[in-house]
Amino acid sequence: MNKPAVLTTDTVDTREKLLRIALNEFAKHGIEGVSLSQIRQLSGQGNRSVVHYHFKTKARLVEEVVEFATSRLDVYCKQAHAEFALGKPEHKEWVRLSELIFDPFLKLFASGQTGATCIQFLSRLTWQTGEQGQRFLTRFFNPYMEVFSPALQTLLPRYSEAQLRFKIHLAVNTAIHGLADFSMVMHDEGLLPLVSQADGPKEMRRLFHDYVSAGLRGN
* Neighbouring C-beta atoms of residue 194, cutoff 10 Å: 15
pLDDT tier, 11 (very low <50, low <70, confident <90, very high otherwise): low
Higher-confidence residue: 82 or 5?
82
| Rounded-to-integer distance, Cα 166 and Cα 218, Å | 13
User: Which one is predicted more confidently, 89 or 189?
Assistant: 89
Residue 48 near residue 40, CB atoms below 8 Å:
yes
Distance CA(120)–CA(15), nearest Å, equals 21
Q: CA separation (Å) from 180 to 42, 50, 58, 97?
A: 23, 31, 24, 23
pLDDT at 148 over 90: yes
Given a cut of 60, whether residue 169 has pLDDT beyond it is yes
Contacts of 83 (CB under 8 A, 6+ apart): 91, 100
Cα–Cα distance, 65 to 51 (Å, whole number): 13
pLDDT at 96: 93
Mean per-residue pLDDT for 3-15? 59
Q: pTM for this one?
A: 0.86
pLDDT in tens, 82-97: 999 999 999 999 999 9
**Weakest-pLDDT range from 2-16, 20-34, 105-119, 176-190:** 2-16
Q: Where is average pLDDT lowest: 69-83, 126-140, 188-202, 203-217?
A: 126-140
State mean pLDDT over 3-14: 56
- For residue 175, the Cα-to-chain-centroid distance in whole angstroms is 9
pLDDT for res 4? 46
Q: Indicate the pLDDT class of residue 7, thresholds 50, 70 and 90.
A: very low
Please give the average per-residue pLDDT across 149-162, as a whole number. 93
